[in-house]
């Protein structure tokens, strides 16, 4: 094929899909509803493959052309969904078989960014969404003098390694400038997506997002509040201990005893996980080595070898090896010749087992955990790819995030020793507290951040927080939930939410909060299936195929059943519950209570 013919084919592929012309709507009967969802599943598979291909190219090769390409592909999908969702509403109220009824509801809730029916406004929404994503992907900080430009990866490296207050502040404040240009576009996205949500029967986009959990939107918000109250005492204890240790290093003027922690001191650009502080606050120094990074470097784990190691956990449970195409098509390292979005993500590009991950792997323990997480998505895709497209997702989005993380709970010191990444696996009480502290700095520290991201957006979408209060409201929630504060003065000229990938990319975030709780519930159930009888934190299901069968049975359901049924298939329980998390961290909770005696915990 000549170059010109190939270009023509590419242009034709971007034309929005035209729905079949209908002289008049067919009769609203159960039979017509069933035929309608069959047609929608067929059309969506083709459209989604087109969109995901364009998004993959844009994410792995950021240029104005790939940005425009993705925007046009998304506009075609938005046009189709807008019309299909509107048409589906005529079947509401009919007595339908459960599968058809569920598909219709899944269709109505299918887009996290519903578009207005007006073509011009729909095009504007697609372009705005693409621009926000690319502003984030191209973001960098060039210093006050503009001479030394660093991207997010380089700035995160500073946050991860440095203990110098001013150096951390420069990296933090520098990256947060990326949001300033986004604010007008984000306000436009809120306006247009709310318009699309109202056209399909929701008061705003936040209500649509909360409706996707097999309960009322109001009921779901109460459910997240209930779960937060279950875990808050453990978070508060961890915050109190970490603040006291940071105060030793930076002094009371910078880290006051009764105030929030400055956001740039927690080892992470967003203060969402505090794992990188572990060497600073290790409870028992030099008691037991947990330095997996050094072992990975010493054993020359590159991106492929590290991903193979993660894959071996899944295959040890009896799950399939990754297909050859996964290794051919994934982006595992950052290319030197172009801008890419390094944020790790998992893909089934064609909704037909075209499995990939996109990640800039550097060979750290954090990367090993992240790869397990992303492969959890990949194996979920693989388990349900033969279902109708409307059922090709997790039982709820928290399930999708929890699967890989549940398996990482089996990466115990004993398991790391077994695979050669630790020299020994000590079992005394001091070693246990060290391990649990390291885990808590990731999993417990994250909980309030996971809760507040969408709380902020729900308030924005509803109009409770207007554009002129975006930043003020953001930091009020950061302070209230996390006990974290901006390290320098912020104004409404800043747009600090935009410095977090999921905001400009419009990815709902409550899924991650749910996943941090569900993963322990999954882990407890899989450990029971494996016959484990000891403390939950000692369990590893590695190489246990009975646990693998339990996992596979849940994965294969996709979204074909309400999530309580999928949860019950794995755990025997129908309510998301944090007691497994509290059971897992019971040793650390007792130790923290002792350490915090005499301290004024909490913050003003």
User: Cα(47)–Cα(15) distance, rounded to whole angstroms?
Assistant: 11
Across 216-231, average pLDDT: 97
| Structural contact between residues 305 and 368, judged by C-beta atoms closer than 8 angstroms | no
The pLDDT value recorded for residue 27 is 60
> 523 an active-site residue?
no
| Average pLDDT value for residue range 571-599 | 97
129 within 8 A of 74, measured Cβ to Cβ: yes
Whole-number pLDDT of residue 288: 64
Beta partners for residue 345, in sequence order: 358
Of the listed 167, 284, 366, 502, which one is catalytic? Answer: 502
Q: How far apart are CA 351 and CA 51, in angstroms?
A: 11
pLDDT in tens, 350-364: 999 999 999 999 999
pLDDT recorded at residue 28: 87
pLDDT at 511: 92
Q: Sort strands 261-262 and 484-485 into parallel, antiparallel or unpaired.
A: parallel
Contact 410, 530 (CB under 8 A): no
CA distance 508 to 205: 11
Q: How confident is the model at residue 24 (pLDDT cuts 50, 70, 90)?
A: very low
Are 580 and 523 spatial neighbours (Cβ–Cβ below 8 Å)? yes
* Burial zone of 367 (CB within 10 Å; 0-12 exposed, 13-18 middle, 19+ buried): buried
pLDDT of the residue at 422: 87
Decide the pairing of beta strands 150-151 and 140-141.
antiparallel
Tell me what the mean pLDDT of segment 234-246 comes to: 98
267-282 per-position pLDDT tens digit: 999 999 999 999 999 9
Chain centroid offset of residue 598 CA: 37
Per-residue pLDDT, 71: 86
What three-state secondary structure class fits 345?
strand
User: At residue 251, what are phi and psi to the nearest 5 degrees?
Assistant: 90, 160
Among candidate residues 239, 372, 373, 382, the one labeled active-site is: 373
Q: Tell me which DSSP letter residue 278 carries.
A: H
Q: Residue 113 and residue 565: Cα distance in Å, rounded?
A: 27
Question: Among residues 195, 273, 311, 374, which one is catalytic?
Answer: 374
Is 401 marked active-site? yes
| Per-residue pLDDT, 25 | 54
Q: What is the mean pLDDT of residues 104-122?
A: 88
Comparing 320-324, 334-338, 520-524, the range with the smallest average pLDDT is 334-338
- Least Cα distance to 480 among 352, 345, 604, 306 occurs for 604
CA distance 541 to 403: 13
With residues binned 3-state (H G I as helix, E B as strand, rest as coil), the percentages for the chain, rounded to 5, are 60, 5, 35
Burial grade of 445 (CB within 10 A; 0-12, 13-18, 19 or more): buried
Task: Give residues with Cβ within 8 angstroms of 15, minimum separation 6.
Answer: 76
Structure token pair of residue 278: 């572990």
d(CA 328, CA 312): 18
Q: Which of 388, 350, 294 is nearest to 37 (CA)?
A: 388
Assign 3-class secondary structure to 438-470: HHHHHHCCCHHHHHHHHHHHHHHHHCCCCHHHH
- Residue 9: the pLDDT is 28
Residue 230 has pLDDT above 60, yes or no: yes
- Say yes or no to pLDDT of 409 above 90: yes
Q: Verify whether residue 87 is a known catalytic residue.
A: no
Q: What residue has token string 């299936």?
A: 529
The pLDDT mean for the chain works out to: 91
Q: Which residue has the higher pLDDT, 148 or 478?
A: 478
Distance CA 280, CA 73 (A): 48
- Looking at per-residue pLDDT, the higher value among 67 and 222 belongs to 222
Question: Among 101, 199, 343, 569, which one carries the catalytic annotation?
Answer: 343
Question: Which one from 278, 379, 509, 512 is the annotated catalytic residue?
Answer: 512
Residue 120 burial (C-beta neighbours within 10 Å; 0-12, 13-18, 19+): exposed
Q: Given this model, what pLDDT does residue 182 score?
A: 95
Find the catalytic residue in 241, 401, 406, 431. 401
Higher pLDDT, 76 or 223: 223
Q: Which single residue is written with the structure tokens 């453990």?
A: 234
Question: What are the pLDDT digits (tens) for 43-97?
Answer: 999 999 999 999 999 999 999 999 899 989 988 888 888 889 889 989 988 999 9
Which of the following is catalytic: 119, 154, 344, 414? 344
The confidence band for 10, taking pLDDT boundaries of 50, 70 and 90, is very low
Q: What is the pLDDT averaged over residues 312-323?
A: 97
201: left (phi over 0), alpha (psi -120 to 50) or beta: left
**pLDDT tens-digit series, residues 149-176:** 998 889 999 999 999 999 999 999 999 9
* Integer Cα distance of 168 and 162 in angstroms: 7
**How many whole angstroms separate alpha carbon 190 and alpha carbon 563?**
29
- Window from 412-416, 426-430, 536-540 with minimum mean pLDDT: 426-430
- Mean pLDDT value of segment 356-376: 93
Residue 340 φ then ψ, to 5°: -140, 165
């Amino acid at each position: 094929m000549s170059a010109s013919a190939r270009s023509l084919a590419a242009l034709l592929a971007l034309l929005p899909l035209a729905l079949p012309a209908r002289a008049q709507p067919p009769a609203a009967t159960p039979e017509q509803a069933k035929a309608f969802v069959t047609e929608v599943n067929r059309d969506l598979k083709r459209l989604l493959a087109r969109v995901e291909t364009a998004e993959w190219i844009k994410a792995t090769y950021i240029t104005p052309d790939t940005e425009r390409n993705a925007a046009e592909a998304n506009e075609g999908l938005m046009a189709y969904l807008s019309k299909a969702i509107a048409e589906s509403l005529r079947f509401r109220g009919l007595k339908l078989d459960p599968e058809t009824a569920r598909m219709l509801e899944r269709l109505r809730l299918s887009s996290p960014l519903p578009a207005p029916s007006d073509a011009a406004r729909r095009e504007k929404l697609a372009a705005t969404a693409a621009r926000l994503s690319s502003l984030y992907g191209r973001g960098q900080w060039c210093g006050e003098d503009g001479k030394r430009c660093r991207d997010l990866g380089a700035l995160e490296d500073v946050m991860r390694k440095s203990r110098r207050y001013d150096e951390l502040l420069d990296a933090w404040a520098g990256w947060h400038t990326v949001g300033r240009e986004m604010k007008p576009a984000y306000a436009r996205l809120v306006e247009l997506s709310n318009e699309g949500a109202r056209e399909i029967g929701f008061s705003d986009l936040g209500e649509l997002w909360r409706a996707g959990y097999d309960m009322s939107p109001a009921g779901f918000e109460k459910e997240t509040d209930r779960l937060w109250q279950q875990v808050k005492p453990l978070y508060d204890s961890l915050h109190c201990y970490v603040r006291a240790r940071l105060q030793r290093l930076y002094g009371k003027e910078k880290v006051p005893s009764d105030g929030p922690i400055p956001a740039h001191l927690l080892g992470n650009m967003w203060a969402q996980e505090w794992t990188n502080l572990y060497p600073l606050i290790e409870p028992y120094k030099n008691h037991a080595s947990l330095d997996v990074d050094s072992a990975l470097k010493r054993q020359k784990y590159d991106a492929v070898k590290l991903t193979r190691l993660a894959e071996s956990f899944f295959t040890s449970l009896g799950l399939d090896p990754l297909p050859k195409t996964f290794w051919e098509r994934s982006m595992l390292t950052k290319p030197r010749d172009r801008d890419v979005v390094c944020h790790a993500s998992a893909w089934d590009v064609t909704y037909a087992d075209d499995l990939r991950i996109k990640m800039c792997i550097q060979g750290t323990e954090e990367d090993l955990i992240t790869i397990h997480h992303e492969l959890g998505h990949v194996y979920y895709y693989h388990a349900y790819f033969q279902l109708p497209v409307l059922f090709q997702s997790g039982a709820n989005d928290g399930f999708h995030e929890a699967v890989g993380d549940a398996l990482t709970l089996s990466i115990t010191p004993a398991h790391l020793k077994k695979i050669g990444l630790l020299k020994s696996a000590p079992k005394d009480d001091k070693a246990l507290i060290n391990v649990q502290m390291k885990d808590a700095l990731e999993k417990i520290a994250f909980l309030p951040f996971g809760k507040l991201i969408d709380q902020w957006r729900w308030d924005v979408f509803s109009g409770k927080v207007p554009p002129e209060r975006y930043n003020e409201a953001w930091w009020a929630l950061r302070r209230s939930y996390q006990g974290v504060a901006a390290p320098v003065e912020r104004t409404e000229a800043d747009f600090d939410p935009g410095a977090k990938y999921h905001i400009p990319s419009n990815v709902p975030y409550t899924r991650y909060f749910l996943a941090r709780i569900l993963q322990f519930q999954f882990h407890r159930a899989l450990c029971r299936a494996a016959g484990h009888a000891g403390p939950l934190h000692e369990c590893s299901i590695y190489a246990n195929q009975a646990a693998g069968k339990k996992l596979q049975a849940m994965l294969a359901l996709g979204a074909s059943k309400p999530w309580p049924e999928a949860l019950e298939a794995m755990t025997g329980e129908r309510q998301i519950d944090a007691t497994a998390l509290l059971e897992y961290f019971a040793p650390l909770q007792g130790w923290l209570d002792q350490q915090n005696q005499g301290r004024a915990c909490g913050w003003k």
